[in-house]
Amino acid sequence: MDAKGEKIFIFDTTLRDGEQSPGNSMNLDEKIRMARQLEKLGVDIIEAGFPVASEGDFQAVQQIAREIRGLQVCGLSRANLADLDRTWAAVAEAANPRIHTFLSASDIHLKYQLMKSREQVLKEAYAAVKHAAAFTKNVEFSPMDSTRSERTFLGEMVEAALEAGATTINIPDTVGYAMPEEYGELMAFLFKKIRGRAVLSAHCHNDLGLAVANSLAAVRSGARQVECTINGIGERAGNAALEEVVMALATRKDLLHHTTRIKTERIYQTSRLLSAITGIHVQPNKAIVGANAFAHESGIHQDGLIKEKLTYEIMTPQSVGIADSNLVLGKHSGRHAIADHLKKMGYNLSREEVTRIFARFKDLADVKKEIFDEDLEAIISEEMFRIEDKYKLVSLTVVSGNVAIPTATMEMEVDKQVIHDAGFGIGPVDATFAAIRKITKTNDALQQYAVNAITGGTDAQGEVTVQLKYNQHTVVGRGAHPDVLVASAKAYINALNRLDRLKAEVKKDGVEQKKIIL
């Protein structure tokens, strides 16, 4: 049943079932673009649409049939003769056209939706497939809601479709009801019934989050076609995700001994194109194509990946078209990951220096969700290139608003002695600087004050630059912190420390030449 090395046909229904989901509709040009990408991806069959649904859908299916030549182009049709005629008109010019027709098989649908007997739908299924087979030998039949159908009757419907000329029998889990073991057992039953007369196909919805698992269970039970969509889009909770099915087959060859013609390195590109067309992006933790699929923040995981990628990656990001893994620098990152990243940034630091940077990194990571290279540059600038400072910030509290005088309450170390005081100003920054001047007993002229965001996002660090003037000299202080007021205080204090060293240098040399100390 699960013969080794057999090919699995990938039937992509992104342009039909996928487009039916809210927010995923596409115009003609967008459908053509997507169809061309699916051809590059290597799918075997594109279900291009439902031609009878609208004139626009008919034109899209017809245009795709005319332009896309490297695969089968399929149109979906209800099981009535007029719909089948219209569907054939849409796909007739394809290099290899397919008609896919369907009719409900479950008693629930027969009673409440179709209001027909089993005998009636058996005759209609046979007649529909027979009519389609007069146009093409490539006919697919789906007994809708198969997984909630009575098994004996389902078998009779499949037999009727085979006798009428169907070459593919698709078994839809229309409402995502089946469990993998249950669906696999059903497919095994039908595989024995078909006895090689047609290709057995799986079409699974994701209402219980089992669409991919059910599709793989079907493959192990004899199915040789899987119907799926890019990013798993589709009715309600969506369909089986093409990228997950394909990469499961590619990754677990020890259990799933089959191949596809999918060019897996084009998967990510195809996913991104669909998101760009529909404006609907996949969730970050989406398997294979999500932003976090190859991102690692845990320190233990990062350490393992640095030593050997197989420790925490079962496939390479390059295999699906992503440039590389992403070691996310955050509060869970370990010292080894930071040391490795600093080395990649070009810093050959000692163990003690890395320890200092890592301590500052951890403090910042408690405030910011993700740390970027620019954040590390700011930490390095503050930590690695500073001499023992006379002034240090201990704490800062600022009260401001339109009903209170801006007040900054501050603790600082001055020559290792902690001093507490407050300052007032016309704004929170002015109050902060006033408090610093009181504590340090300095009053050097402020020449320039500038704020920049080091990185993007609402939690970006602010980088503040302060220029102080002393006689003919100018010193520049910098400070970085997610709180701009703290960054401002650090920048001002950094400038005072530089100014203090400048004054000592001038006093020692007895020279008053103009300098700018950066």
Domain limits, the chain: 9-278, 295-383, 391-517
Q: Kindly provide the residue ranges of all beta strands, DSSP E only, lying in 192-236, ordered along the sequence.
A: 199-204, 225-228
Q: Can you give the pLDDT at residue 364?
A: 74
Listed in sequence order, the DSSP H helices in 24-150 are: 28-41, 55-67, 81-91, 107-109, 118-133
Find out whether 102 and 78 touch, Cβ atoms under 8 Å. yes
| Nearest C-alpha neighbor of 217 from the set 242, 182, 175 | 182
Q: Can you give the pLDDT at residue 240?
A: 98
| Nearest C-alpha neighbor of 203 from the set 292, 312, 105 | 105
Q: Can you give the pLDDT at residue 515?
A: 43
Residues of the chain with pLDDT under 50: 511-518
Q: Can you give the pLDDT at residue 517?
A: 40
pTM, rounded to two decimals: 0.69
Q: Quote the CA–CA distance of 409 and 423 in Å, as a whole number.
A: 7
Q: Quote the CA–CA distance of 217 and 2 in Å, as a whole number.
A: 10
Q: Can you give the pLDDT at residue 277?
A: 81
Find out whether 266 and 272 touch, Cβ atoms under 8 Å. no
The one-letter amino acid code at 339 reads: A
What homologous superfamily does CATH list for 391-517?
A: Alpha-isopropylmalate synthase LeuA, regulatory domain (3.30.160.270)
Q: Can you give the pLDDT at residue 487?
A: 85
- Structural domain 9-278, CATH architecture: Alpha-Beta Barrel (3.20)
Residues with Cβ < 8 Å from 385, sequence gap 6 or more? none
Q: Is 22 exposed, middle or buried (0-12, 13-18, 19+ CB in 10 A)?
A: exposed
Q: Can you give the pLDDT at residue 514?
A: 44
